[in-house]
Structure 1
Amino acid sequence: MKPLKIIVPALAAVCLAVAAYFVIHKSTPAEGGGASAESALIDPKDGFDASKIPDDLNGLLVAYRKIIVLLADENKQGPKERNEANRIGQALFHENLVRLNNLDAYFDKLKTRRAVQREASFDNILTYIESGEDLYDADRLAFREVLVRMQKLIATEQTLPSIKLHKRVSDDLNALSEIEKEYDKELKEIFSRFESRSIELKRERWDDYLAKLRKLYNREQILKDYGIILPYPEKPEPLSEKEKDIFGQGLPAKTVVLTFDDGPHATYTDEIAAILKQYNVPGVFFQVGKNVGSIDGKGKELLNKNAETSRKLLSAGHVLANHSFSHALLSKQSGDSLNAEIEQTDKLLKAIDPARSALFRFPYGAKSKEGMQILGRLGLRSVMWNIDSLDWADPVPNSIAGRVLGTLEKEQRGIILFHDIHERTVKALPLVLDKLIADGYSFASWDGTDFKVVKGGKATPEKVSISTDYQNSWAIVIGINDYAKWPKLQYAVQDANAIRDTLVSKLGFPGDKVLTLTNGDATRNNILALFHEKLGHGQLKKDDRVFVFFAGHGATRKLSSGRNLGYIIPVDSDPEQLSVDAIPMTDLQNIAESLNAKHILFVMDACYSGLGLTRGGGSSAFLRENARRMGRQMLTAGGADQLVADGGPNGHSVFTWTLLQALSGKADLNGDGMITATELAAYIAPAVSSMSQQTPAFGSLPGSEGGEFVFEMRSEGEFLSAKTNQLSADAIALNNKIDGATAKAGSETPIVIKNLNGGEQKIAAPKMVDAPSRQLAQRANDSGLQLYREKQYAQAEAAFTEALKYRPDFGLAANNLGFVYFKQQKYAEAARWFENTLQIDPSRAIAYLNLGDARAMLNENEKAKKAYTSFLELSPNSPNASYVKEALKKLD
């Protein structure tokens, strides 16, 4: 197992950045002052003081710190100490779950208090989380769940102070999510990002932070406080078969069992089940009895609504197992209480499925001889684990996945411990499954007597989510208009700049790694220098990707052998010296083979032939192993003696305009959130061929192992408003032609395109992948935004409606549906959906602006004023503020 000390410094970076963000959210003192303002916070009936921080808030932090101390320096601990530290760490974590329940009760009481007390209490809690003087930079991540609970409660109120508090909490949570995404970036990048906001950070190193915690807490003392004193080593007594636990080391090589503890959860269990369905792999769910029901005084089982989730798991082929009734520390219990913890859950599971599995897992792995005897009497088997994801302690999905995969690399088999009560587990699970499937692992489940590999346990190819798995993303972008000795071009520089913007703004390429040359800078020497000096000499890592885009002249020269040789033309090339100062495609082939990168894709908006390349992209079997196959691919705009078609919208060539549409998401033919090079070719080639005299070609360079270059799409997050840009008439007309030409790309008919030798190849149309409801909702919303920009309002309305069917609380789609109604002058319908948006997210300022516009169009002036005023209260410095102020004047 990877030592946590190595992992946690990256977590510290996350916490440091959280602290930096929270500094900007310090609260403003409440209006008013003096004794009367302070006394208003104390209820004379019961002495409730809204100015005091709940004790459970501090308890959360203390337990969080103790977990860090317990798990630090794992590599220096013996197996016994490590196991006990993990067990007590889990106990501390579950104590924090109790504290969170207590805080829920505290927040419920706040609902009955006066508004001034409620708002003051929330303000005090947020002020402490954001700027408490006794907090280290790495502490604040302990309060994520508190913020989530506060957000839900505040959202039920519609007063302006509550709306402001909701926005404040939302901003804090958004900051945590954003910083989590930045997990893999260097500390320097995180710090510089916040330095631009003039934020002062303590910036203590993780070792310094840990040293401070060790002055407060001692691992041995923590263990002792929880009843653990590690004995001197002694020879263990042999166990009978019934007393033996199942750990997973007896599984066949490269075989795993996926187990999920502590559910069922109202949201995350369903999402995990959807992921398992997508990958076609089984899971074993160790369920806590109180989560599915209770036993009344007569011993009758009373199931609750979560039991339906359990039934769905069974019908999907998963296994239900016993994880005690209340998740108590069973090694400290005996007699009737111990028996009830095990037997009551056994009864509840039998009520769900009479043939319930015979599996039991002791909470925290803490068993006793008496507990094992009860299992024997009930016919149950104890199941442990040998691969702990630590998802109960680690808040970062990438770190969780790395830990599981790192341990499996050593163990080569085993039972993996996850928990289906965390969002981070939902995020980490696909990362783990992508790698395990690529590495050829099998998945086992309980067959009634033993763990055995389930037939069809490996994911079917069409349901595998492709993982980019790239370490760094590089690009070389070249565009030349002003040739000295070749005909000048009109579109190439515009094309190159648009591609660069798309790579950075939509596809996640860092701006400093997108190397751009245009016009006079794009000489032969400068182009080759980018490849040899910027990308060569150890700059690239083996898991990097490189995207190359060239827009300019291409040429073909017939060699004495009769073979054609293609060239790209630098700005300083002489037509009479083609073989000397142009760049032959054979040079690009050699460069591609020499670069130390996983995948390289050349996209050339120029025409030539004679590249001498191999067959085109791989099948779905290649995609499944994409993480370990090298890929060298090329897509060209056309062949020899063909002219690149100018006249596309916004000054682009037809080829590059189609490429930009493809990269906006239209080339994601199977809806998995990824665009492979093969999908790109399948989308672009038929469209360009149908609209011009060009015949785009696609293929793999020699030495390619069938790997696919992959673009990962970012989810669209735009709330539609009057400021949203739409396409011009000529752009919409061309897109309609493209959509018509590429319609067959989404059908079952194979797509026929040219290979790079001039012959034909068939590309199988990819099948749509399964996805959880959240992903389907996002996919529909993204499609709706594209359709809106193309002014296809009926289709956009249907797409946003589809998004809300998958996810009724999707505020983004609710606003966007409202604006499509607004655009069609259906103002009453628009107003309803803007109101729905604000019920989902009352801090969403743009929805107030849209609502004000809709009410104004309906001549409901007072309602319009109220909506506009709320917008200005939430966003006084917005670029739309002047427009709203003018609108208010007109309504007076």
Structure 2
Amino acid sequence: MIRYKLLQFSFILFTGVASVWAQPNTRGSGPPNVVSSTPQDTSLFSSNRYVNRALIIANNDYPKMNGSKRKLPGVEQDVPALKAFFEKQKFQVKVLNNLTGSELNDEIGNFLVENDVENARLLIWFAGHGHTLEEVGRKMGYLVGVDGDIPDQKNTEAVRAFKKAAVELSAIQNKTLTNRNALHVLFVFDSCFSGLAARGTENSEPSYIQAKLSGRARQYITAGNDKQLVNDQSPLRTFFIKAIQEGAADTNLRDGYVTFSELSGYLETKVSQLTHDPSSGLYPQDPQWGDFLDQNLNNGDFVFKVENYVPLPSVPVLTERTCESPVINMLSLPNVIKVKKEVTMRADFGGTNPQFEWHFGDEAPKIGSNFIRHTYTKPGQYTLRIVAKNECGEDQYSSPIQVQNVCTGLYCGVGKWMIRTLVGSGAAFAACRGAGRCGANSGVARPPVPPGN
């Protein structure tokens, strides 16, 4: 079963449809079923310093929809594991099941207003159907309440009814940006989830983690892009828990922390690899992620603490410095790069806010962050060189890249060989014939003759 295709946010927010968790005992026409929990023990992140609160909206029953779109069993199956995981991470969790469009709009707004306080770390997770409408040349994304149905775009009345039962993503962004006091706000649409993971410990964080924690952030992760159908039995839940509990996404010096950048890159890579494998039987998904467009709210990062972290031996003690030289630890690339196809590249790094130069070997370098997309226009062997710089120093990383033609495999190889053979031998035969030296002992063979001629 799949969730219905969701949406492209009119600013920068791209999202697939939701696929998480819910308890189906409440329908959208009645009051929402609320499950609240308050963890008793404290931790470094949650005690005194931060207020960790999560709102889970799980819509799994759409009475007005037909066929496989009505029920989303993956939502119901995922919610117990996810709710338990958040509680273990010291979140106060509120679960709302099967909300109508108006309830969805009100509850998101109320959650942001009630928690508009200093040092609040807020997570809003929506699980359910989403849809994209194209109006006046723009794609507008919507989260669908349980009183809604997916409309025929050409049916004006159906579109009008749909909008009454849905919430436009631009409205959600506006609500988010009016919450100015909370430290971090993260929206998760579909089958991945995030927040501030914390465990009780008396150790202080490294300075670069403290810098990420102290700045404000408004971020999002989605299950796929606006052109994809997202699997109801979502792989993102498995990869997310693995990323935090086992530290699979802890690529930066294995420091025991998973930042938003590390997590989103890990999910993007793992989910794409799995779902694009034909043997998986899954619909292809390419997770999207990013920040809301407000520079004043993009100075920090969500940070998770690895649950089962074992420190590496001989880890140097970080001295108090206002700046740390950049270190490029690893480069994430697809296994195969094909010509004229956009690829995603990411460099995992340490250091204080470095600027990245990407030298692809085929054009002028690009300046930007540790995440970039690029398209090679010609096949061949290239050397990708990355330079990370800040006021304290720089680091470089190089990697060979093989860019292949779209035509690959035995068929293409044999075809090219036959063309070269025919053209080469034909030219040689024509030359010797013109000189009157073609014969049995001339050393020049006639062009190969196809069978039957």
Q: Which structure has the bigger radius of gyration?
A: 1
| More helix, by proportion | 1
TM-score (norm 1): 0.26
Using CA pairs under 8 Å that are at least 6 residues apart, name the structure with larger relative contact order, 1 or 2. Answer: 2
| More strand, by proportion | 2
